[in-house]
Structure 1
Amino acid sequence: MFNLIRAEFFKLHKNRSFWTLLVALAVVSLAYPLLYYFDHRSSGEPQFTGAQFLSTFIASNVYAIKFGVAVLAGFFICNEYAAGIMKTIASSGNTRGRLFAAKLIGFAVGSMVVSLVFPIVSTVEVTLLSGFGHLPAESSEFFIPRVLGLTLLYTAAYAAIGAMFAVILTDSGKTIGVSIIFFLMIDIVLAGIGSKVEFFRKLYDDSIFKLVGDISKPSIDSGDWPELLLVPLLTIALCAMLGIFVFRRKDIK
């Protein structure tokens, strides 16, 4: 299993799409704060400090997570179907369950790296421009580690969903398109249906799609932590099992 995971990390390191995605997000992360910097400078408004920018705009990082997972699923997983690599891997003697688990781990780690680009690059840039400043008064000194830790956890949950779509669809274009549409529309759909049907309201409230918004809260009540941690972990486990189930029965050509 260790060798399978190491092989996935090697492929991730050599994957051009992964590095292109990192560079593209880094450029956006550098440009985004500059728009606010020059706008505030021209209007005479106080500049954002690094801490203010992180606490204010960390919620926007969910779009980078969704986009990154969708693109990486298409180019990192599905490309192996098109190139015939997946068929070779499936006939290597390892069980398909172990193969999918290793691929999910490599894919999730790549997605987690992508998810850190915006908060780290933009915060460092704003800090260099205006100083770090102070965190929100109601937050603790663990605000930044907590934000980054939960970002990684929820990104892994999104990655599990993306990997499941990848093995179901097996085509890069379809996987990217379906994943992006799903990630962008699921909140609207569940919230809309949930306003009329209690079951769907509860389902949405207890899903990663709603709870990911709590990452940016200045403080989190101790009673909210179990749900905040268990929901993404259960999402990862469920999607991994569904992915393995599909991958085992998939006719790989």
Structure 2
Amino acid sequence: MSRLIKAEIYTLFKTRAFKILCIIALLCSLMLIGITKLVSSEQFLKNNLKGMTEEQQEQFIEELKNASSNNSSPVNSSSSMGFTINASDLFNPTARELFKGTFGNRVIEIFLAILIGVMVAAEYSSGTIKNKLAYGKRREQYYLAKIIASTVGMIILLAIMVSIATIGSTILFGWGKAFDLHELAYILGTFCSAIIVGMAIISLMTLIATLVKSNGATIGIGIVVFALLPSIVAFLYGKYDWFDKIFETTPAYNWSVITSLVSSNSDIIKSVVISLVTLVVASILGIMVFKKQDIK
């Protein structure tokens, strides 16, 4: 099993798509630093609002400040896509406030859809799966090795996005309070929680890849189901109790809870537990499907 995992991780590092995703993750983090620096400059905004009167400019800036400070629900961010700048004072942000925004919304889902499509689904058409299983490897071991290797890829992508953006923000704006062991635990706790939610996403996407056996279909379904659809239907949250119960079990909602500044510890624990259950159930279902397939 350990050799199989090492082989899959080696394949991950050799995959061109993964290298490109790492570069994109780096560019995203650098762009986030630059955009945050520009948006947090009141003078920059005023220079771009020259068509307005001074009174209108002040009103617009005040509305931005209020919008930034009134984000009181994780669902507010679950409906968005990309990166958000969460700060109590938009023009005086701290790296601690910006930290959770560096994880992005629907960004890692798109990355994972591409990664799973290349790492798992593409091997059906290439015949690689049959060759690997011919060496006597058990199917459940192969399946779990794929999930583990994909998780390693996700951790690296997250580490690039989060670390670069957080370090850059700390240099520009400061952390916001004394950095001690409690703050380190806050960073590690958030990152580990995000990994668990991400593993739930990986297990579901791997199940999809096993069912459709096509890298293009896996990427398309993954992006639509895990990135686009949650952003579209999030507006229904709070309107129907039955919808709320369903939506709160989705990776999109749980990712938003983990990366929200206003989430309580109980909310985060609940999201982690739901994600662990999703990981186990989806992995078991995926293994069952994979063991019954006729691999050609």
Q: CA deviation at 1:189?
A: 4.4
- The residue that corresponds to 2:213 in the other structure is 170
- The residue that corresponds to 2:149 in the other structure is 106
The answer (yes or no) to whether the contact 1:190–1:200 under 8 Å persists in 2 is no
- The residue that corresponds to 1:29 in the other structure is 29
- State the alpha-carbon separation in 1 of the partners of residues 133 and 238 from structure 2: 41
- For residue 203 of structure 1, the aligned residue among 224, 246, 251 is 246
Bigger shift: 66-75 or 184-193?
Answer: 184-193
Q: Unpaired segments of 5 or more residues in structure 1?
A: none
- For residue 97 of structure 1, the aligned residue among 133, 140, 143 is 140
- The residue that corresponds to 1:123 in the other structure is 166
SS in 1 for 2:27: helix
Q: Deviations over 1:121-173 (max 9, x none)?
A: 111122223333338xxxx6332122111111111111111111111112111
- State the alpha-carbon separation in 2 of the partners of residues 222 and 72 from structure 1: 31
Q: TM-score, normalised by structure 1?
A: 0.85
The 1:42–1:217 alpha-carbon spacing in structure 2 relative to 1, beyond 3 Å, is closer
SS in 2 for 1:110: helix
Q: TM-score, normalised by structure 2?
A: 0.74
RMSD: 2.5
The answer (yes or no) to whether the contact 1:115–1:155 under 8 Å persists in 2 is no
- The residue that corresponds to 1:51 in the other structure is 96
- The residue that corresponds to 2:285 in the other structure is 242
1:13 aligns with 2:56: no
1:214 aligns with 2:264: no
Q: Deviations over 1:73-95 (max 9, x none)?
A: 11121222232211212322122
Q: Unpaired segments of 5 or more residues in structure 2?
A: 45-89
Q: CA deviation at 1:226?
A: 4.4
- State the alpha-carbon separation in 2 of the partners of residues 199 and 191 from structure 1: 14
The answer (yes or no) to whether the contact 1:143–1:218 under 8 Å persists in 2 is no
The answer (yes or no) to whether the contact 1:157–1:236 under 8 Å persists in 2 is yes
For 1:51, give the aligned amino acid. R
- For residue 197 of structure 2, the aligned residue among 142, 154, 159 is 154
Bigger shift: 158-167 or 218-227?
Answer: 218-227
- The residue that corresponds to 2:56 in the other structure is none
- State the alpha-carbon separation in 2 of the partners of residues 172 and 209 from structure 1: 22
The answer (yes or no) to whether the contact 1:191–1:201 under 8 Å persists in 2 is no
The 1:95–1:184 alpha-carbon spacing in structure 2 relative to 1, beyond 3 Å, is same
For 2:199, give the aligned amino acid. A
The 1:206–1:39 alpha-carbon spacing in structure 2 relative to 1, beyond 3 Å, is closer
The answer (yes or no) to whether the contact 2:39–2:91 under 8 Å persists in 1 is no
Q: CA deviation at 1:193?
A: 8.9
- The residue that corresponds to 2:61 in the other structure is none
Larger Cα-atom Rg: 2
Higher helix share: 1
User: 1:126-137, aligned counterparts within 5 Å?
Assistant: 126-134=169-177
Q: CA deviation at 1:38?
A: 2.8
- State the alpha-carbon separation in 1 of the partners of residues 29 and 146 from structure 2: 28
The answer (yes or no) to whether the contact 1:81–1:171 under 8 Å persists in 2 is yes
